[in-house]
Amino acid sequence: MQEICSGILHNHVLIVALIACLSAQIIKLPIELIKNRKFNLRYLVTTGGMPSSHSSFVGALAAGVGQTMGWESPEFAIAAIFAIIVMYDAAGVRQAAGKQAQILNQIIDEFFEEDHNFNEARLKELLGHTPFQVFVGLGLGIAISWIAGPAY
């Protein structure tokens, strides 16, 4: 077990990908502060927003695998395809779910204006990302991976 933990802690590609993900989450704080003029620590753990931490994570992962294993390797192909699927999901399916939640919340708000008895639970609206947020997250992840350099 100790050998496994030691191996994980010395996995350069994994550590750099995690740093890229955490960096994207931390960057959300000042962006939201500028955008909404309020400091909200919830952005450190929430999905959605600028930049996409999912895209940063998988972008750094794919770039790190490419740097370490080679751009022609099957491992890079797997990481790149995985990254594309995650980013497509972030900007597609989850973005659509967030828009649906927004519309349902609006319906609930309008329903309550007429004094109905109904459960007022709100749905989470900030689920996915715009394509721009995904692209910025990807760029951040790749940049962090290049700055950290390959682990040889």
pLDDT tens across the length of the chain (152 residues): 778 887 888 899 999 999 999 999 999 988 888 887 877 777 777 777 889 999 999 999 999 999 999 999 999 999 999 999 999 888 776 566 666 667 776 776 766 666 655 555 554 555 567 889 999 999 999 999 999 987 65
- Which pLDDT value is given to residue 136? 95
Q: How many domains does the chain have?
A: 1
107 within domain boundaries: no
103 within domain boundaries: no
116 within domain boundaries: no
- Residue partners of 94: CB distance under 8 A and separation at least 6: 47, 48, 127, 128, 129
Q: What is the pTM of this model?
A: 0.75
Residue 77 to residue 143: CA distance in whole angstroms: 19
H helices present in the chain, as ranges: 2-9, 12-36, 53-69, 74-91, 93-112, 131-148
17 within domain boundaries: yes
56 within domain boundaries: yes
- Which pLDDT value is given to residue 23? 95
What is the residue range of 18's domain? Answer: 2-92+128-148
55 within domain boundaries: yes
109 within domain boundaries: no
73 within domain boundaries: yes
Burial classification of residue 91, based on how many CB atoms lie within 10 Å of its CB (0-12 exposed, 13-18 middle, 19 or more buried): buried
